[in-house]
A and B are shown apart, each in its own frame.
Chain A
């Protein structure tokens, strides 16, 4: 489906072709979506899959097809996390618009998202990610890798080239920032 390999795209982005970011994004998004669809069909009723599993599948698929260089892995995972976020939010939105497409009255976030408080939390995390990106991209990256892609400290340390101890420290800092943002939003409302 995609002509260009992700590896190629990533190198070109690195070389300054920022306009190609969208392409990588589109490829990964499609990949995740199709993987998810495929996975879901295999599951028995009621089972769920996690973004972590999806991400691993996606990673394996790309790595099997292409020679992903280690210094590109980091970017790759970053874009994958972003794609994953987009996919999850879209999935939620789709569910809620299915259900309430007729209701036009002004609604709060939780109304849009629907019944499940758990779904609500996904949207909440999305808000936190967005705000964090503006404040500290690197911390956001660590948070995404850990929470969304389920990487271990060691894996993260390999990807972003920091010692494991440093990763743990950064993770703590990221957690504090996320929670502080969350608390701030909560006390305002």
Chain B
């Protein structure tokens, strides 16, 4: 095997010897003209060609490393340094040497440890800072921290530190091995270390270099942390926030240290957790090449280790939380990490996600369906709450007459609906509400407050339906009528949040707070927290948003306000979902479901709504069995209790269809979508928004199955329905039209697409502003369309400005930002500005801030686009390289038999064919055919491509 391998290398090397003067494409072309070259050899030649293009940086660094090996040392036992005589050598690290030392001329004093910083890089700048820093470090006093006494300089100028000597010190890894420590023992030690480090953190000292050799166990089995802040001391003065690479241990360093990003207490959390992971698993916690690779493999390495070697799922969760690459997702304080470990030791529930959060919006549109239908349920609920409200009045026997009036009012409203509709139970909530709102004026209510209450209830209902403008108008009325009405002010703040208007929302909240401060009884603060959570989300502070929502949830729970608690729970779930923490969202919602069921009937709208969200979440994390179980449960509960008329039933069908779609069972998916459609038609008629939703779903299903034309037909109809039912300025209408535009674009119906999207863009700019996600999305599509019809004067500036806005408002990693990148690249490409396009895509792949991680699906598109661009430049080496990468990324992220992976693989085959590598191309084609057979995949688009490739191959 190895022999064979060497032979291949030798052959490749010989072939390459004649190619060193050639350009890459010449070399590749020459390679393919050679007869009888084995594939293995060919691929080695290609890697030689590609290596030939790399810079010589590696060798420069190799030279530098040789220099470091032969290093000067000057200290030895017996020598006197300062007031101390070195008596025994302890350790020779990369940065310092440690000796046991005794004070000269003193028999009484205990021996100490002296650390000598005998390294070339430090002498120049260490001295100045030494005095200041060592005082701070000397101030740390904790039983688990090695005490620093003082520092100084040796006669030949080497800085040193005098420290407490740890007797018979063993490094933690050695101790754990020798003592045969159990996982629980290890966690106990790590907690000791964590508490000590947390203490240092409260003294504003970050350790920066936690590693096994800095965690010592003395002869009393006490853990001692050593070398606090040394890494910082060794920094270049102008960059105090960064740690020099020389001074830290890449095996345990946090990614932000390696990337020279700012350091915080969370840096220590990472390193300590890395040590913990190594001790528990016995394996290196991070890959050895992370310095070279800029930590891109950290996550996969850690996750693999956690998955395979850490059996206890709670412990796994804790470590995972602590080892997040992005520091903002880790435990916020060392103490929280220690708390969770302690809880784990004591078998208490852990809360590994409690304080972590990362800003990753995404998938914002996916849940629309669920939210939409849920809101209809809530409408019915809101109307019934008016009845409850009046009933409460009667209970406390204040105004019996008013209660009667309310009741009559509601009955009248219902009676006004058409009798046949009323009999069938399918009443259009919107009409009903409009009627109610109008009738209020004619209602002879004694107090303005009463009228306010009713109007508020209707406004609530509108709000739940997503008809925010009307809700807003009604609440404004209430506010005019009764300026101290808390619910109106809260409602107006909520509408402002929905409209992305953080300023207005804050103003309303201030009024509420002012009002609350004057009120005689204490008002529920949690109502405010929920809205503040919304504002925080708007201003990009996701962590704050989540923490406020959780706080509100806990408050409601404490006050036994079950329904409000469930509202807050849904909000927390949504936020977690948006942060791509669907698993945590599931845990949270499951938990609140348990609480809710204790007091609410299983068919309560809130309970059903939460289950419905769970269904989506299980789909999101790919736990389709769970999803199907929930949809079964939902379906049977709704059918048995409410019959088929319950609005959630349609939604459950839609979600079930989605689950089957995800598992690849297209027939079942179609069946459920059809079921939903029939039911929607029966209950709501052809022109209801709910029917529109379902029709849209059918269209999406068509699209997934590759039937673009049918998809367009379905979604056009959905768009018409939305225009008629909710109006053309409704977010849902915009969304459907935008999606339709994208489809038309795919089908090359550019002009039709432009005509459709231009008005959407115009009204979104007006209603939402240019910075809004939806506006960014639709403008991106418009820019692409202009590009497609060759109108570059419009396309280029639009795409460039949208990209700028997207980067500023959404960040580099956001899917929409990436979409803008691809669009601009496409437009450049159309104008034959290939170099610009390549640079642009290169930016997202390579730039540190913008770097796409390997598990981001967009990397597939990025590689693919790059490959096409190189192909357009006739650079077949790079084109093939990136096509290959694109396929591999798809395989890695999505699995090898998903549609996208298969299609990516065929695209690779296509390129290979173009490059006359028929054999390789054919291998891919056959592999794809086999996979499609094995998984019974039928897809017109794929088939078309396959046929094309097969005909070319003959």
User: Which A residues form the contact surface with B (CB < 8 A)?
Assistant: 36, 40, 43-51, 54, 88, 91-92, 95, 98-99, 102-111, 114-122, 124-125, 134-136, 139, 146-148, 150, 169, 172-173, 175-184, 186, 189
Contacts and interface: CB of A to CB of B under 8 A. Distances in A.
Interface residues of B, number: 64
Contacts of A122: 62, 65-66, 69
Given A45-B157, A108-B284, A92 B69 contact: yes
A173 B20 contact: yes
B41 to A, nearest CB: 12
A44 B59 CA distance: 27
A86 B125 CA distance: 35
Contact of A45 (B72, B95, B287): B72
A67 B93 CA distance: 43
A98 B92 CA distance: 8
A169 B245 CA distance: 34
A106 B593 CA distance: 48
Given A48-B70, A119-B94, A169-B21, A177 B51 contact: yes
B56 interface: yes
B702 interface: no
Given A103-B173, A114-B94, A40 B6 contact: no
Contacts of A51: 66-67, 70
A136 B10 contact: yes
A136 to B, nearest CB: 5
Given A45-B123, A180-B47, A135 B17 contact: no
A50 B95 CA distance: 19
B110 interface: no
Q: Is the interface of A mostly helix, strand, loop or mixed?
A: helix
A117 B245 contact: yes
Contact of B20 (A108, A110, A172): A172
Contacts of B72: 40, 43-48
Contacts of B123: 45-46
B48 to A, nearest CB: 5
Given A107-B284, A114-B94, 7 more contacts: A46-B120, A48-B70, A48-B71, A117-B250, A118-B65, A177-B48, A189-B289
**Interface hub of A110, A134, A177, A180 (most chain B Cβ within 10 A):** A180
B245 A105 contact: no
Contacts of B122: 46
Contacts, number: 166
B249 interface: yes
A142 B284 CA distance: 35
Nearest to B291: A117
A88 B66 CA distance: 8
Contact of A169 (B20, B61, B66): B20
Contacts of B69: 88, 91-92, 119, 122
A8 B64 CA distance: 35
Contacts of A139: 13
A119 to B, nearest CB: 6
Contacts of B250: 110, 117
A88 B158 CA distance: 25
B67 A48 contact: yes
A116 B68 contact: yes
A104 B74 CA distance: 29
Contacts of A173: 13, 16-17, 20, 52
Nearest to B247: A115
Contacts of A172: 20, 52
Nearest to A49: B70
A189 B65 CA distance: 22
B92 A99 contact: yes
A54 B416 CA distance: 102
Given A40-B72, A88-B66, A116-B246, A147 B59 contact: yes
B48 A103 contact: no
Given A45-B156, A51-B66, A116-B68, A176 B16 contact: yes
